[in-house]
Amino acid sequence: MSDAERPDAQPEPRGPQFQPDPASPNGPQQAGPPPNPPGQPGPQGQPYGGLDPAGPYGGPASDNAIPGQPYGPGPGGPGGPRGPGPYGPYRAGAATGPAANGARKSRLPLILVAAGVAFLLVVGITIAALRGGDDEPVATGSGGSSSEPAEAAKPSDAVRGFLEAVAASDGEKAASFLKTPPADTTFMTRPVLEASAKAAPLTGIDVPEVTDEYASRVTTRYNLGERAVVEEFSVSETGGLWQITRGASEFDLSYQRDETLPLLINGVELEQDVVSLLPGTYAFTTSSTWVSYGDKATLTLTGPSDYTSPRLTPTLTKDAKAAFVKTTKAALDKCLDQHELAPSGCPNRLQLRDGQKVDEKTVRWSLTNDPFKNARVTLDHQDPSVVEGTFYPRYNFKAEGSVDGRRATFDGPPIGLYSFTSSGDLSTDTIKVELALR
């Protein structure tokens, strides 16, 4: 027997590669036609379940088969005698007596038993594979839920099961009550939902029983933290199972998130623009030591009909402003300590006029005001990881020198030094600043 003629050489049916449809739960599927008898060509390109009139199992008729008869009824059937066993070959004029069969007759039962066992093994494996497909459905998408549709015989059962799963911080179970679970469930995990429940637990679930087979909406009541919620869920029925058509809310945050400033939702970092959120409370934060998303960066989503969106405004924290001003003042103090007319990297710089000379060893810089009091400090509009400030110092410059060869003392406010800018890098835990004459 060649490999092509073995029963296990036929294409093996595979389990379903999609989410099971509640309308027709997957049961064991037909594993294809029984294997052809020894010596018969297998189906070539024939779909399972189709019959080719040329042959009894979808393949071409064989010289060894009696036309119009199935394989293997045994001797005595219409069309004349055939060889022993269920698949015994018959050829016109072939001897059928004991002398002709001889040793072949003693081996044939063993061969047939082995073939039967092999066939049963192939069928058993195929059925097991098909059943396994039902037990472990394919995930709905990257990071999506892999749960089977939950059992909900009534419209109200689907809504109650969904809300109870959310209250229990079980996002996977909640997704099983949705007709179309979100493709990405990053923010439907237990840690995210437990943080939501800690901020505002979902309690007092009241779902009146709905048994109407034509129902499309179910009204329910519950509490989300201190909020009393009345929510209407849309439902639909497929194959006797009820599901919620929309339970998660989708948000596109592409216009609010910034590449230089990480965005976290309930402590989990966002890596894509579009997110799906279940009813609950969500805090939008950053991993930056110095920048937050503002006081209104907490979103309480009461249900699928709540279209409230998060308002994310990168904001310098009070500690960050204080640290930036302090670092800027320290940098300016170092500049004032320099005995130079124009210290490198400093805003206090002078250029002498014609005829003037200064002994730089005698140069002294000082301030006559506090430029850091009530300073205006903001984040860069293009890059929220950069802080900027403008400062207005009043300098006093003192040095010994000469003017047109005559000895002179310089002492007073220099002309043209009115303000400077400072920019700080907030990407690390230590703020580094650069000063520049404005």
The 10s digit of each residue's pLDDT in 398-410 is 999 999 999 999 9
- C-alpha to C-alpha distance for 76 and 56, rounded to whole angstroms: 19
Predicted local distance difference test score (pLDDT) of residue 147: 56
Predicted local distance difference test score (pLDDT) of residue 221: 97
- C-alpha to C-alpha distance for 49 and 81, rounded to whole angstroms: 30
Predicted local distance difference test score (pLDDT) of residue 429: 92
For residues 284 and 257, the answer to whether their CB atoms sit within 8 Å is no
Predicted local distance difference test score (pLDDT) of residue 377: 95
User: What's the whole-model pTM score?
Assistant: 0.61
Residues of the chain falling short of pLDDT 70: 1-148
Token representation of residue 67: 């036309």
The closest of 437, 380, 81, 119 to 258, measured between CA atoms, is 380
Predicted local distance difference test score (pLDDT) of residue 138: 35
> Which residues are CB-neighbours of 181 under 8 A, at least 6 positions away?
140, 144, 145, 147, 175, 248
What are the Cα distances from residue 53, in Å, to 60, 67, 73, 166?
A: 8, 11, 20, 57
Per the DSSP assignment, residues forming a β-bridge with 242 are 237
The continuous run of DSSP H or E covering 104 comes out as: helix 98-135
Predicted local distance difference test score (pLDDT) of residue 256: 86
Mean residue pLDDT across the chain: 76
Predicted local distance difference test score (pLDDT) of residue 257: 85
